[in-house]
Structure 1
Amino acid sequence: MANYITTDHDLIKIIQAAEESDLAIIADFITDRNNGRISLDTTIRTQIDTFKRCATLKNNSDLLIKEVQEFGGNSIVNFFRGSGVVYREILDDVADHMKVKIEKTDSAEQIELKILLAVAVKGMEQMKPEEQKSFFSKLTGGKIVGFGPGAIAALQASILAGGFSSYILATTVANAVATTLIGRGLALGVNAAFMRGLAGIAGPIGWAITAIWTAFDLASPAYRVTVPCVVQIAYMRQKAKVTEFPSCSQCGSAMTPDQKFCAECGAKSGV
């Protein structure tokens, strides 16, 4: 068993409960798709890749926990520190690096959502006005349709309150990051209609990821692991909270559980 910080419940509970396909993305972030990283031992890289190919990462999740903690230690102190830190320290460091304002009282989930929002807001800067409006509408089930400082503030309040909008945001950002960095997105085949509804907002965020990485200065080796891992873990946390994937029965667009009418086609929920 890998030697990791066993009191790190914010990380351990999510990793141990995750699906194999989601852990495979974490594995690729850590190993650079098995191409190797300077600070990653070759033996460990080979082990992680073997577990991924054999679909046994879930049974060996302790190794992923250890490596996420150690890459977090690398980014916080120096590249070759080689000792791990708890996930909360990683979140604090990533937020600081990305200039995301957080509070000491924020939970791990709240910090993750603030980081996702920072990526989304940067992504919106790359969108056309009509794409920005569509993003807001689909992200909030049609509750916010405009764009501007007031709409951004309302979006932030909606996301930080938790719920279905948080899941949509996490899914969209995580899918874009994975597609851009490792060449494949999330395994979301369980609800094709749901993902068709997200397609319109996933594209612009995906196109913006390269610009976002430059804006946040994520070129250092450790941050190329910790930031994508935080995004993926944030998605996994939100996914664990969602038990149903409502979608419009007419056009397949994503809908929130309390949404009465589809923001895309106007059909009544449940029709």
Structure 2
Amino acid sequence: MYRYDTDLEFLKYCSNEDLDLLVTYLIKDKDGNPRLTEELTYTDEYKLYSPNHKMYWQLIAAELQCFGANTFATLFRGGKGVLYKELLMDVCNKLKVNYNKNSSTEIIEMNLIMKILTDSIENMDSQQIKDIIKELKLKTTNYSKEALLAALQFAIKIGGFQSYEIAVIVANAVAKQLLKRGLSFTANATLTRAISIFAGPIGWIITGAWTLIDIGGPAYRVTIPSVVQVAYMRLKNKAQ
């Protein structure tokens, strides 16, 4: 059952293409097989309207809330789940993201996005660093990892369309790695090249650190990519 959540109400305005990736995270495991713990596909609405996910966005939100509840011993799968922000902070804690719990949901989501970027940049060589700075037209003349991180943090801080592009890079890399398909969006040549450069390093982060996390808490294989997708969808909705 959906628990009213101001941080998820925007899902009603999202496209079926974006919702489909979120749904896939919720109902399929890493091998593409149905998840044993999911309940969404058993609902009448899913059976009647899928893949027109907009018709039952509240059930999608409820499924996400319940997967978040799986990580808390005091809540049961059959009832209402946790609010999205609580789920988001749980994911951030697991990935060791630095954030202020009193910040807005969008800011905490961008802290998560920045953490993934930071970890991936550690795996980049000097040429990749230089290419990213040039492709994204970041304001720095120093082609070091530290300079790239500072420039990305500045871009995220001022917000706007560049924040959306950064979220696209991360969400697309996660989808490519876990689902073998990316986002449905129209990208300019610059963004396409940046996506290509980040794909490998972010992929290494996902297959390495996230796999270890999954051993200790299977629900995180659902909640981590789902939160990344929601963060991207929120910025896209805002940009539109």
The alignment's TM-score, normalised by the length of structure 2, stands at 0.85
* Preserved CA contact (<8 Å) 1:36 1:45: no
Q: Which of 66, 72, 91 is matched with 2:62 structurally?
A: 66
1:207 aligned onto 2:207:
no
For residues 106-157 of structure 1, what are the alpha-carbon distances to aligned partners after superposition, in whole Å with 9 as ceiling and x for unaligned?
1110011010111111111222121123223434x23135223354234223
- Does the aligned pair in 1 maintain the 2:135–2:191 contact within 8 Å? no
Corresponding residue number in structure 1 for 2:95:
98
1:23 equivalent in structure 2: 19
Q: Distance between the aligned counterparts of 2:202 and 2:99, measured in 1?
A: 25
- Structure 1 pair 68/47, CA: closer, same or farther in 2 (3 Å)? same
Q: How many residues align?
A: 234
Contact 1:138 1:201 in 2 (8 A): no
> Of 135, 150, 153, which aligns to 1:153?
150
The secondary structure found in structure 1 opposite 2:70 is helix
The Cα of 1:78 is off from its aligned counterpart by 7.2
Does 1:127 pair with 2:124?
Answer: yes
Number of the residue aligned with 2:111: 114
What secondary structure does 2:33 align onto? coil
What amino acid maps onto 1:74 in structure 2?
N
Matched, 1:222 2:219: yes
In structure 2, runs of 5+ residues without a counterpart are none
The CA RMSD measured in Å over matched residues stands at 2.6
* Paired residue secondary structure (1:106): coil
| Deviations 1:157-183, CA, capped at 9 Å, x for gaps | 321331222111100110011111111
Question: Contact conserved, 1:113 with 1:160, CA < 8 A, in 2?
Answer: no
Moved more, 198-207 or 107-116: 198-207
Contact between 1:137 and 1:143, CA under 8 Å: does it hold in 2?
Answer: no
Q: How has the CA–CA distance of structure 1 residues 45 and 172 changed in structure 2, closer, same or farther, with 3 Å as cutoff?
A: farther
Show structure 1 runs of 5+ residues with no match. Answer: 244-271
Whether contact under 8 Å (1:174, 1:186) holds in the other structure is yes
Corresponding position of 1:187: 184
Taking structure 1 as reference, are residues 199 and 88 closer, same or farther at Cα in structure 2, changes over 3 Å only? Answer: closer
Q: Which has the larger radius of gyration?
A: 1
Q: Single out whichever of 120-129 and 230-239 deviates more from structure 2.
A: 120-129
Question: Which residue of structure 1 aligns with residue 164 of structure 2?
Answer: 167
